């Protein structure tokens, strides 16, 4: 823990530049101010020969980072404010900075890792899961889509696991995170402090960082995902969300039926956009994925389902969103195409 009230705390420990996401009461959810603060800090470290690697972690025991500050995005967006556009613009550029970072980027994924928390960790080079991790990309349930680079990393999960995660928002524990490729190593939470101390002496090479981490790694056990992988690959290969749901419903068995039921509770528009997004992402590099996501989120902010999904989940908490359109069949290919079209104001750029 820390004795500061700052939302984000930067430090130096040996050869490490350290980042602490410091909003434990809000599950370390990212604010725009936190995102903006990270940009110059990590760029400065990139040029500092004394900083060999970056370590990012969350304050408290419950979460690494549970995502963006959705309530503020909801309030400001409904009022027609600029905040949501500024937040996503700067967040997506930060995600790209992390993916292309010239030094090892080490994330201690202890607790909840969702949405924006995935964006400041998974694009990095070393993702360390503990027994407390709970990963999910649940955005289709609030009328959004699995952003912050989800186009890139979900499309590179084995088989059809990426489509499964995008459409269902499934929650993964440590072994499944390793299986899906969203984490690289399993280290018990009790060992993180000692690992951080060991990393203070890194020479900055990925080989040295990897070898240091390896000294603390333990077996995460069997991955439950592996047991249903055949079903995932078979059912989530469908060309459309409707085909995927139909395949799950005809598959037989409790697990497949549950997934179909889950998908039907999500925003139909978001579900179709997310499926297209993951499949498009497989053919793009990370920056191109972020350009695509910037186009998509601009349409989301200007639309209906994000505000309705957030209202039902976060504001009123009635868990009864009224999606528009209300069914998968009501979302046309032309509707989906519009989310991916170039923006009149111009695409996301990187410097």
pLDDT in tens, 23-71: 999 999 999 999 999 999 999 999 999 999 999 999 999 999 999 999 9
Active-site annotation holds for 253: no
Report helix angle 286-301 to 333-340, nearest 10. 120
Give the CATH H-level superfamily of domain 8-340: 2-enoyl-CoA Hydratase; Chain A, domain 1 (3.90.226.10)
Say whether 186 sits in a helix, a strand or coil.
Answer: strand
Active-site annotation holds for 58: no
pLDDT for res 4? 61
Which member of 68, 77, 111, 281 is catalytic? Answer: 68
pLDDT for res 1? 44
Say whether 249 sits in a helix, a strand or coil.
Answer: helix
- The residue ranges of every structural domain in the chain are 8-340
Which member of 147, 176, 293, 305 is catalytic? Answer: 147
Which member of 7, 69, 91, 139 is catalytic? Answer: 139
Burial class (CB in 10 A: 0-12, 13-18, 19+), 60: middle
Active-site annotation holds for 346: no
Assigned token pair, 244: 């995927």
Which member of 17, 111, 116, 141 is catalytic? Answer: 116
Q: Which of the 8 DSSP states describes residue 313?
A: I
Strands 53-58 and 105-109: parallel
Task: Return the number of other C-beta atoms located less than 10 Å from residue 72's C-beta.
Answer: 16
Stretches in the chain below the pLDDT threshold 70: 1-4
Residues paired with residue 107 on neighbouring β-strands, in sequence order: 56, 127
Q: Which of 349, 271, 332 is closest to 305 using CA atoms?
A: 271
Tell me the chain's radius of gyration from C-alpha atoms.
20
Active-site annotation holds for 61: no
pLDDT for res 83? 96
């Amino acid at each position: 823990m820390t004795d500061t009230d700052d939302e984000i705390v930067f430090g130096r420990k040996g050869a490490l530049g350290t980042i602490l996401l410091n909003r434990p009461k809000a599950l370390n959810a990212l604010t725009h101010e936190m995102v903006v603060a990270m940009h110059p800090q990590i760029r400065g470290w990139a040029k500092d020969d004394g900083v060999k690697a970056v370590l990012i972690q969350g304050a408290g025991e419950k979460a690494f980072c549970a995502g963006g500050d959705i309530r503020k995005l909801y309030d400001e967006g409904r009022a027609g404010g600029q905040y949501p556009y500024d937040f996503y613009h700067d967040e997506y550029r930060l995600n790209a900075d992390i993916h292309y970072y010239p030094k090892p980027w080490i994330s201690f994924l202890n607790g909840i890792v969702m949405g924006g928390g995935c964006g400041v960790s998974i694009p990095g080079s070393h993702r360390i899961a503990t027994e407390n991790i709970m990963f999910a990309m649940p955005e289709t349930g609030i009328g959004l889509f699995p952003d912050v680079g989800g186009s890139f990393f979900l499309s590179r999960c084995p088989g059809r696991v990426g489509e499964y995660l995008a459409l269902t928002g499934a929650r993964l524990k440590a072994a499944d995170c390793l299986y899906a490729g969203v984490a690289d190593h399993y280290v018990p939470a009790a060992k993180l402090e000692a690992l951080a101390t060991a990393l203070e002496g890194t020479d900055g090479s990925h080989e040295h960082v990897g070898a240091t981490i390896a000294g603390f790694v333990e077996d995460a056990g069997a991955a439950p995902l592996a047991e249903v992988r055949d079903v995932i690959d078979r059912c989530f290969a469908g060309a459309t969300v409707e085909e995927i749901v139909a395949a799950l419903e005809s598959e037989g068995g409790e697990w497949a039926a549950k997934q179909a039921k889950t998908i039907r509770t999500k925003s139909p528009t978001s579900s179709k956009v997310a499926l297209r997004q993951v499949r498009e992402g497989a053919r793009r590099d990370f920056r191109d994925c972020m350009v695509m996501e910037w186009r998509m989120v601009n349409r989301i902010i200007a639309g209906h389902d994000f505000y309705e999904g957030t209202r039902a989940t976060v504001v009123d908490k009635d868990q009864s969103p009224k999606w528009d359109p209300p069914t998968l069949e009501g979302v046309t290919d032309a509707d989906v195409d519009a989310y991916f079209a170039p923006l009149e104001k111009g695409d996301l750029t990187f410097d």
